[in-house]
A and B are shown apart, each in its own frame.
Chain A
Amino acid sequence: GAVVSQHPSWVICKSGTSVKIECRSLDFQATTMFWYRQFPKQSLMLMATSNEGSKATYEQGVEKDKFLINHASLTLSTLTVTSAHPEDSSFYICSERVRETQYFGPGTRLLVL
C-alpha cells in the first residue's frame, strides 16, 4: 500500500490562531488526497477532496474559508485551520487514493485552548 505522512502529529494552539497540517505522499504521486476529521469514539467524516493544481471540493457543511486546502504538488497537500476555536479540536487525517483504495496518514491531533 501507499505510505502517507502527516506533520505535525500533535499541535496545541491558542484560540484565534491558525494551524497548518501537512500531508505527504511518500511513494506515489497523488493527484487526489482527502481530508477527514474524527471526533472521539466516532467514525471518519470527510471534509474535502484535495485536487492537485485545482481548488479543493468541500463537503456540505464544511466552511472552505475556515479550512483552507492547498495541493500545490503531487506529493503535498496542506490543511490550514484558520482562526481556530476550541470546537475545532479534533483528529485530522489525510488519505491518498491509489486506484480505488485509500491509504491514510497517521493523523494530527489538534487541541485548541
Chain B
Amino acid sequence: GEDVEQSLFLSVREGDSSVINCTYTDSSSTYLYWYKQEPGAGLQLLTYIFSNMDMKQDQRLTVLLNKKDKHLSLRIADTQTGDSAIYFCAERMDSSYKLIFGSGTRLLVRP
C-alpha cells in the first residue's frame, strides 16, 4: 500500500540544525521529494532525491535516504526563523505521475 508518514511537529532554536524525518512504504518509489509550505502559500519544491542515491546536499539542506528502512530525512543546517513552515515529503512511483504526500511536519524556529 501507499503511505507516507511524518511526525507532526518539530521545534528548534535558531542556529541549530533541524532534522525532519519521513517513512514510506512502497519499495518501488523512484523519486522522493521535499516541499516547504509557508502560511497562505502553495508548496515550494526544496529538493528531490533519486532512489539509487544515499545522500544529496544542496547548500544548507542535506537529504539522507535509507532505502532498506524506507526512511528519508531532511536536515537543515543553521536553521533560521524564515525556515518556520510545514515540510512535506512525497514519493513517486516510476510508472505514475502521482505523488503520495505525507501529512507534513510543522517546523517552529525559536529565536
State yes or no: do A and B come from one complex: no
